[in-house]
Structure 1
């Protein structure tokens, strides 16, 4: 018997090409040279680290070896003496359930049976009484198993990898989106760090270890991934090709609004082009807010739920699968708002626009998101990142801090310790470079990923003559590009998205405010009416016609809200009947409902009156306290003023002879004419409060007592001598 050949030999390569042409007629040109190189190495059991662009055919690296080995097992005499397996099976580690389902869907088109091993499928198999462990061990049902790294720790996988049939036929262990080993394995999902240990410890040495990614930055990130997978030195083959997307225009624009609100007008310009698009957001609550904004931007009367979809991890496995199918097949399904669950590896060939709200955490994630569109090289795609201006400002500060010398810490002379500043998680360096780039985004991408050939890839779009220049180069060259809409069947027209108008209601009048329930009153009324609704249900369900009636229909939430909104304005039974005339049990229970409302009205009226009286009493007490305090200050000021007057008072000189008195009196009369008015006391200067405060306002000082003219005149010496007779008469 002739010795076995290697798959990398010319005979082996010709055999692979022949089988691909036979088994995959939808690939008339066969495999790309780099695909064929990786496939033959995997068949030979070598370890391969492969970096290809998104949409570059990485899935063929693990699909084609299985197709080739299956054909060889069916017709061993038709091919040269090459290594084969009777029941070939491969293991693919996927980061998300969505990617696993997408791989199964794509492999089905190539007639390769595959299974997504996740919580939902395992639960379904157990309910059906199937033994998944036995089926995987025997290698007869599926040829490729997709599993997440968390499930590899289960006891079931120890049983599977210990089974002889599985160990004999396992062809490769593949990790798809291998860049996540470094990004997610550190803290987010530590089991990613244990994938290499599983491959090396649980799989036979004859099985190839294959790592696939489109975004592995050369240097330390790639070395970290290789070390985790046990790839070192010359023991593995590294294939690195350019991940540039020649059929995709890359656009970066600042947002005119925040991401925490409910309005996202920056999206409408792109969505109104009529192209199938995915909107990437960071959190599930953002998915819902963007969905509601777009939902309200479409006119009523059309199937808005058919045009806009949500994709996130809280939706069921089947629902997310259905959304991916609709995006590919339903022309009315135009927009999907998604979290990171759709960012890695998902293949939807009909998607044309990728729009990201806020720059992602890393450039790898950003490029992965842009790789969801333009999967068909004959289409024209757009990758848009709408970033926050604050992120751009932070990037500038971080890069400036790297160039400046480190600041000397401030030492407190009393304690001898430096003041610690709040530590802020630094921004990824490459992300900061992208946010401050002002010349060419694509040249910077190629520099980060070292895309060959560097002498051409690192030039700007104008010099490199790229078909679709980035937004910076397009603005500098003043170019205008057109992007055709997604194809629609004849007669189908999708209406544009129109920003919803915010109808601000006018301010309520005083009477209207009185008729509006307060927050605590509304909560109390809602509790009471909910109990009323339960009583209605218990009463009506005894009738045979209502036994299968849904619980919520006995006293619907719409009727409950209507009653709460008008509770204080309902004055009679007729008013209530007019409000709830659509209620199914209005004739039977409207009277009891009116009775409950009247009780609530009386209760709220009494509570409001009690609160009003308490408030008035508190205000009166406050006024009395302030008045008493002001009076005390007034009396204190008056007493201090009298003491000052006593100190300043001068004793009169003793009387001399009559002539002296006459002369002095004459002088004083000339100096103080009798008709001169008494000078008023000085008024206290008025001061205005600089701001409204809770301090008591300074009271006016009590005016000094005005002296009469007679009292003033008594202080002057008389101008004539009083006769002794008159003095005796007095």
Structure 2
């Protein structure tokens, strides 16, 4: 039989209000009006799209419906006849494991302003949640539990958080096809829905299939929700709605302003590159002692900034408590512990985080957000700045340190956007040239803004009411003006330093002194790769000898094996091996070594032997190289002499021919008898060849190779010079001057 009332009826609204006040007395005012309106639609199976500021209360939308339905299932006689579920369950699609764990831990806590100990009391609400991820699945398999049966029976958990990649597995098709699960599921929620566009394009394409799972595998009577704080209107909104199957009037869109009135938005150009090793601009903000998150683009950036700030603090164990890293390479438990310490430990001040921290994680104690490098999208920038100042009474700061090259690229793109047609007509670039990826248009507008950053962001997101939100900070009377308005009006804002418990002081950060790098060693004193490997193996064997001799002594039983001959000592010896020509120099290097007093002499013997061996090897290699070079020079010289003799023969032959021609010309001029006619080349060859036998050359015997000896060829017969060949021929055609005179 169909229920008598629907949740949108007055009876349904009153029931929701009554149950919330009964189950969650911490919410003295109950739900916000917009929350109540959306919860009613969810319980009636309507689709909703909620866009509201980070920390505004979105997460209550997937917690309150479960609480209401569970209370009605426990006490059906106390409430009107309304649609319900016996074992209500909700499905939340989360982008990161950290967000899923955060939802599981602090469900319905984000809006009660509780501390960590108060979270424990929330278990009395009896809304168990489960994060379905690699770690939890592995733990269940080790324990022999069947997660598929536990989820589909709807008896163990009421909220299931899962990422889009696991949603495509076969087990989830089995779960969604089970009758009990289909009858009790209340909604399917896409949390941080703006990532469907940004991550679904290339980074994680499975985000594009969330809507297909909701509409194809779940019951049509459930509510489909999309929650986000940063969805730009028009194109971005339409793309997400199309992916989730929301179109026309079949869903309800609720949009509120995502501006944070208690956060000052600041943009500063970086004075040092993102890829560098020093970041002095951070120190002024961190020395205020405020809880801070530093957003980095990559894990490599996290490590370099962490090392810089580590060196900026004085030595001591306080550095381990004050600086923490939060990223995907750490386990979920470690990341959860960091969030807990951030809220509870007064000495835990700075968290270094990647993009995972900016999407839905909740840490109420954060007051400052520093982004080193500008994010790829404005959505990501707003997300990063949205998780500070969760208490509206506090003063928070959101700082973006952007690269100057990003500003230049934005200005170029903005200037060239009006001339796109003409640039296409005059396109001359090569097809092989890879064009840089254009910046997001909203990011271009933000980087090139010259009047007010807050007004620019409000125009991008169309935050209502536009008549007020698009005004500059001074005209709109904002509590904390942006950096542009503050600089233009000469306003400086003081942000208070939070009080610390008695006896706790935080040392100030100071730019570390630049340590001059040691003078580079002479190339002749550096070991080659092969020499270093051989020397290192010898030193390792020496270290093993020390270990075998010392590890059984009572004083060394708890000493690790690596401490008997540390790798740092070994590396230092290898770097300076060829310069250790005395025991005194060796003692200076091995002074920190625990066993140097007993083994330094024996170590010097090993080092000296290595030095002698490497020096001898290098001397042999030098002699071999010199011999090779001498042989090469000798061969080149011999080849050059042979070429010179041939050139001389050619010159002598050419001179002889020229002199004979001159004599013939003189005879022609002096003799009255005309010269005899020239014979043809063929006749000359017959005559000359008849008077001269062809030269014979001794046959060359094949050289026999001797084992281990180079092949020796027979000496080459000397060729006759041109003048010798010419004299062997008789010249019956030439008339000498004397004979010519006698004939005359």
Equivalence for 2:567: 557
Instruction: Quote the offset at 1:563 in angstroms.
Output: 2.8
Equivalence for 2:89: 89
Mapped to 2, the partners of 1:233 and 1:539 lie a distance apart of 82
Match status 1:503 vs 2:503: no
Q: 1:450 to 1:588 in 2, by over 3 A?
A: same
Equivalence for 1:594: 604
Mapped to 2, the partners of 1:445 and 1:79 lie a distance apart of 46
Give 3-state SS (helix, strand or coil) of 2:157's partner: coil
Alignment of 1:151-550 (within 5 A): 151-404=166-419, 405-407=421-423, 421-505=433-517, 507=519, 521-534=531-544, 536-537=546-547, 550=560
1:357-388 per-residue CA deviation (whole Å, 9 max, x = no partner) reads: 11100000111111111122221111110001
Mapped to 1, the partners of 2:253 and 2:424 lie a distance apart of 45
Mapped to 1, the partners of 2:174 and 2:2 lie a distance apart of 37
Give 3-state SS (helix, strand or coil) of 1:354's partner: strand
Equivalence for 2:667: none
Instruction: Quote the offset at 1:127 in angstroms.
Output: 1.1
Mapped to 2, the partners of 1:489 and 1:235 lie a distance apart of 54
Is this contact kept in 1: 2:3–2:83, CA < 8 A? no
Is this contact kept in 2: 1:410–1:418, CA < 8 A? no
Mapped to 2, the partners of 1:381 and 1:12 lie a distance apart of 40
Give 3-state SS (helix, strand or coil) of 1:185's partner: helix
Equivalence for 1:57: 57
Is this contact kept in 2: 1:331–1:487, CA < 8 A? no
Is this contact kept in 1: 2:164–2:207, CA < 8 A? yes
Match status 1:106 vs 2:106: yes
Instruction: Quote the offset at 1:15 in angstroms.
Output: 1.4
TM-score (norm 2): 0.78
Moved more, 485-494 or 230-239: 485-494
Instruction: Quote the offset at 1:616 in angstroms.
Output: 8.0
Give 3-state SS (helix, strand or coil) of 1:406's partner: helix
Equivalence for 2:707: none
Instruction: Quote the offset at 1:571 in angstroms.
Output: 4.1
Is this contact kept in 2: 1:567–1:601, CA < 8 A? yes
Mapped to 1, the partners of 2:520 and 2:594 lie a distance apart of 33
Mapped to 2, the partners of 1:255 and 1:4 lie a distance apart of 64
Give 3-state SS (helix, strand or coil) of 2:201's partner: coil
Equivalence for 2:23: 23
Instruction: Quote the offset at 1:437 in angstroms.
Output: 0.6
Mapped to 1, the partners of 2:518 and 2:583 lie a distance apart of 29
Is there any run of 5+ residues in structure 1 with no aligned partner, and where? Answer: 633-638, 640-730
CA RMSD of aligned residues (A): 3.1
TM-score (norm 1): 0.80
Is this contact kept in 2: 1:4–1:82, CA < 8 A? yes
Moved more, 256-265 or 529-538: 529-538
Q: 1:598 to 1:269 in 2, by over 3 A?
A: same
Instruction: Quote the offset at 1:558 in angstroms.
Output: 3.0
Equivalence for 1:67: 67
Instruction: Quote the offset at 1:561 in angstroms.
Output: 3.1
* Alignment match of 1:568 (pick from 578, 587, 590): 578
What number of residue pairs does the alignment pair up? 626
Mapped to 1, the partners of 2:493 and 2:320 lie a distance apart of 31
1:54-83 per-residue CA deviation (whole Å, 9 max, x = no partner) reads: 110110010111111111111111112111
Mapped to 1, the partners of 2:621 and 2:219 lie a distance apart of 80
